[in-house]
Structure 1
Amino acid sequence: MVATLEYRDNIAVLNLGDTENRFSLEWLDSANAGLDTVLASEPTALITTGSGKFYSNGLDLDWLLANGEKMGEYVGEVQKVLARVLTLAVPTVAAVNGHAFGAGSMLAMAHDFRVMRSDRGFFCFPEVDIRIPFTTGMAALIQAKTTPQTAVASMTTGRRYGGEDALAAALVDRVATEDALVGAAIEIATPLIGKDSGTLGAIKKTMFGAAEAALLTV
């Protein structure tokens, strides 16, 4: 499965897929191509979402098990995408339509804002339970977007947050029903369209420069 890009008026919507939307090499290529198109299509804003049960289940663990010698290279490519979204020079909103686990949750955290489905789906960093320590870059990303209390609670326990719990922990900014999810993301993004991309990109790089540098160092 690959990510596909469409436009709703002048807002770019990157659909992550309709399966588990794991970050396969093909998926990473399609996501990068979508981001290239977004940056060439200003003024715009970016919304990411999935179709079905998952927003994203993160790393392609089956591929990693079969290609362990390429782990460093693969994780580096994943972190490049996270860094791109983190500092993208347009407003970004994640519309978390379903389960977001591991690197899938990190992708959502890399956005400026997050809207999560209120009635179904979990937001989770399961690394402590699946015995995969966070990389320095991944930890830096999460810590750059959460309070210290939420970082400890979410990163060291493997807790699964439903929509309302995620809102209370400030992991997301709003919750909405499934049919209103993308609309809520559009409501957030629309007033922000037209911000000067050079200025916006510079501000994000200043705010998140340390996390970006850590993500780009594997």
Structure 2
Amino acid sequence: MNYECIDLKIKDGVALIFLNRPNKRNALNDQIRHELLSALDSVSQDEKIYAVILSGNGASFCAGGDIDAMAKRLELPVGEIAIKGWRRHQEIQRMMALIHNMPKPMIAAVNGAAFGLGADLALACDFIIASENASFCWSYIDRAVIPDGGGMYFLPRRVGLSLAKDLIYSGRRLECEEAIKVGIVDRYSASGDLMEAAEGWAITFKDKAKPALMLGKHILNKTFESSLEEMFSQSNMALGICFTSVEHRTSVENFLNK
């Protein structure tokens, strides 16, 4: 598929996805959302890809939802606003679920502002690496709405419930230093080295057993909602799959042959 609002590159088994509306600070409208869904679906099914990096072209990571698109929605007949909004949010939620459940490690390389839905995009990834130009803001309150991209699920798991409430209620902006301190950002890089650092991180997953990574991620994503007994049960089933994998057999044979 040819993309206009997304740049998708495959580099030695790492998928690089760039939001590509720099003149709009990579704000999400219908087109970029549809293209991002397509790109995510494509890389999730590509067995040659072992890691994914999400970033933005230009000075911003993603400024959130497109304000022009919001204005156009207000012009719809009153009877259509709710159902069309519901359909749009079903698509947004599917996009976030694709990121969260990506069957391979996914890194957000935050190069600039990550506001509103853009901040939620970053949180949906497994890891966040940011440059000194990065900033985060759950700015939904400034548009008189609540987070619709999973922020109310992801943010408390990163920073705790009290701070998540503070950030969502106030809509205040966090610069990179504070975002690192409170646990939103996992790693820091100078702006000129951000993508190189992100790719270096992604490469560390290259020779790891794909079944173990995929199954481990699936279980870890449910850890805060699961009891210890449920975690044991899921782990037991996953181990049964791992024990029969080519990767496990090769690993054991290689160890014994040393």
Q: 2:67 aligns with which of 42, 61, 64?
A: 61
Distance 1:198 1:127 in 2: 32
Unaligned runs of 5+ in 1: 211-218
Unaligned runs of 5+ in 2: 75-80, 227-258
Deviation at 1:40, TM superposition (A): 2.5
Matched, 1:109 2:123: yes
Residue in 2 that maps onto 1:178: 191
Matched, 1:202 2:218: yes
SS in 2 for 1:67: helix
Give 1 or 2 for the bigger CA radius of gyration: 2
Deviation at 1:209, TM superposition (A): 7.1
Q: 1:167 aligns with which of 180, 188, 197?
A: 180
Identity %: 26
Q: Is the 8 A contact 1:124 1:161 kept in 2?
A: yes
* TM-score, normalising length: structure 2: 0.74
Q: How many residues align?
A: 209
1:52 partner amino acid = G
Deviation at 1:140, TM superposition (A): 1.7
Distance 1:144 1:75 in 2: 22
Deviation at 1:204, TM superposition (A): 4.7
SS in 1 for 2:61: strand
Residue in 1 that maps onto 2:41: 36
Matched, 1:21 2:22: no
**1:180 to 1:51, Cα distance in 2 relative to 1, 3 A:** same
Greater helix share, structure number: 2
Distance 1:88 1:208 in 2: 18
> C-alpha deviations, 1:99-140, integer Å up to 9, x for none?
11000000000000001111x242110122332123494412
Residue in 2 that maps onto 1:87: 101
Q: What is the RMSD computed on CA atoms of the aligned residues?
A: 2.2
SS in 2 for 1:55: coil
